Amino acid sequence: MEFSAEQIAEILKGKIIGEPTITVNGLAKIEEGRTGTLSFLSNPKYENYIYTTASSICIVNDSFIPSKPLPKTLTLIKVEDAYACFAKLLEVYSNLSKKQAVIEQPTFVDESAKVGTGVYLGAFTYVGKNVEIGENCSIYPNTYLGDNVKIGRQTTLYSGVSIYDACTIGENCILHAGVVVGSDGFGFAPDEHGVYQKIPQIGNVIIEDNVEIGANSTIDRATMGSTIIRKGVKIDNLCQVAHNVEIGENTAMAAQVGIAGSAKIGKRVMIGGQAGISGHLEIADETKIVAQSGVPSSVKKAITLMGSPSFPIDDFKRSFIGFRKLPQLMNRISELEAKLEALTSKNK
């Protein structure tokens, strides 16, 4: 797939500095650019690469002024925000490379299911009773859609995704390979003999529009009611969201985050990798949780938390300075104890 600088500038509403007819057929990081590729520069620390890159076209900010001669083979496209514009191009490229509408065989689609127009169903996909799939969805091979599942329009489910019965996925969502939505919540109660008895999980999962969930993440169904992922949420790979959790709009969490049952996460919360959040608590809107933090109690107002158990990041940093000095302090205490003992013995 080939694009000229003119076509790219038209898409991005940018200004061309160089050869408007030059073409590219691939994308590359600016430090790895080669002839025929498109790169971008937004972070000043990578500026040196623009003077040596072999890329044919580079997207830069309007404010960029070269401090050295640029390669003669390089054409610039100046835009207001180079990073955002490059992301837009990636989206265009992704849409152009989407699977064509077809139902591959072998595939099982129950006769009661409703499949919209323009849908791609990969081979070995299972579509259960009363399933509804919106138009222009892409559902890759080996995907399982249980009975009464609803999938909104223009949603993509990659290979090996499993959506259990009665769960709902919104529009423009992306679920990467191995995602499981609607598996049973971790509900068990010990009987009089201490043997765990399973508590039936009869709720579902509701995922709203524009949500992306990374590979091998799991979203458990509610015991009763719904586990809810609000619109715009972004979940990285290998995350666990337990039963009856609610995650607010435009919240983002990095890999290996675990959220225990019935926790309520606010809007625009940012959660670093490997953080853990206890159950039955509430996290205020716009809270930030640093990687590997453990949150044992509710957060009433927006703050940045760090540590396990977590507490405000500035307090954590001060505490950490003290913690690092503990070996020295212990040595000084030992020395003082020895001197005190010597003085005591001398006085006796």
Average pLDDT over residues 46-64: 96
Does residue 320 have a pLDDT over 90? Answer: no
pLDDT band with cut points at 50, 70 and 90 for residue 299: very high
What's the pLDDT tens digit per position in 99-118? 889 999 999 999 999 999 99
pLDDT band with cut points at 50, 70 and 90 for residue 328: confident
Note down the domain range covering 304: 102-314
Average pLDDT over residues 304-330: 81
Same-domain pairing of 112 and 27: no
My answer on whether omega of the bond before 69 falls inside 30° of 0, hence cis, is no
| CATH at 79 | 3.40.1390.10
Same-domain pairing of 112 and 92: no
What's the pLDDT tens digit per position in 301-311? 999 999 888 86
pLDDT at 312: 80
Stretch (H or E) spanning 2: none
pLDDT at 266: 98
Does residue 270 have a pLDDT over 90? Answer: yes
Does residue 221 have a pLDDT over 90? Answer: yes
Least confident of 47-61, 99-113, 307-321: 307-321
Same-domain pairing of 82 and 177: no
C-alpha closest to that of 169 among 143, 145, 186, 201: 145
Does residue 218 have a pLDDT over 80? Answer: yes
Same-domain pairing of 80 and 127: no
Same-domain pairing of 86 and 220: no
DSSP 78-140: EES-HHHHHHHHHHHHHHHTPPPSEE-SS-EE-TT-EE-TT-EE-TT-EE-TT-EE-TT-EE-
Beta strand 188-190 with 226-229 is: unpaired
pLDDT at 97: 72
Distance CA 70, CA 36 (A): 17
pLDDT at 169: 98
Does residue 43 have a pLDDT over 90? Answer: yes
What's the pLDDT tens digit per position in 113-138? 999 999 999 999 999 999 999 999 99
Of 38, 63, 96, the domain-final residue: 96
Burial letters for 176-210: b for 16+ Cβ neighbours within 10 Å, e otherwise? bbbbbbbbbbebeeeeeeeeeeeeebebbbbbbbb
Residues 6+ apart with CB under 8 A from 104: 121, 122, 123, 125, 141
Of 59, 79, 96, the domain-final residue: 96
Same-domain pairing of 128 and 272: yes
Does residue 79 have a pLDDT over 80? Answer: yes
Same-domain pairing of 62 and 196: no
Cβ 198 vs Cβ 159: under 8 Å? no
pLDDT at 348: 65
Q: What is the mean pLDDT of the chain?
A: 94
| CATH at 282 | 2.160.10.10
Same-domain pairing of 248 and 309: yes
> For 144, phi and psi rounded to 5 degrees?
-120, 125
Least confident of 137-141, 295-299, 332-336: 332-336
Average pLDDT over residues 189-194: 94
Does residue 236 have a pLDDT over 70? Answer: yes
Beta bridge partners of residue 76, listed in sequence order = 17, 58
Does residue 182 have a pLDDT over 90? Answer: yes
Distance CA 215, CA 161 (A): 9
Stretch (H or E) spanning 317: helix 313-324
pLDDT band with cut points at 50, 70 and 90 for residue 331: confident
Of 58, 76, 96, the domain-final residue: 96
Strand, coil or helix: what is 316? helix
pLDDT band with cut points at 50, 70 and 90 for residue 98: confident
Same-domain pairing of 242 and 340: no
Residues noted as catalytic: 243
Domain count for the chain: 3
Does residue 173 have a pLDDT over 70? Answer: yes
Question: How many other C-beta atoms lie within 10 A of the C-beta of residue 21?
Answer: 9
pLDDT at 200: 95
Same-domain pairing of 293 and 327: no
Average pLDDT over residues 142-157: 98
Residues 6+ apart with CB under 8 A from 186: 220, 242, 243, 261
342 vs 270, higher pLDDT = 270
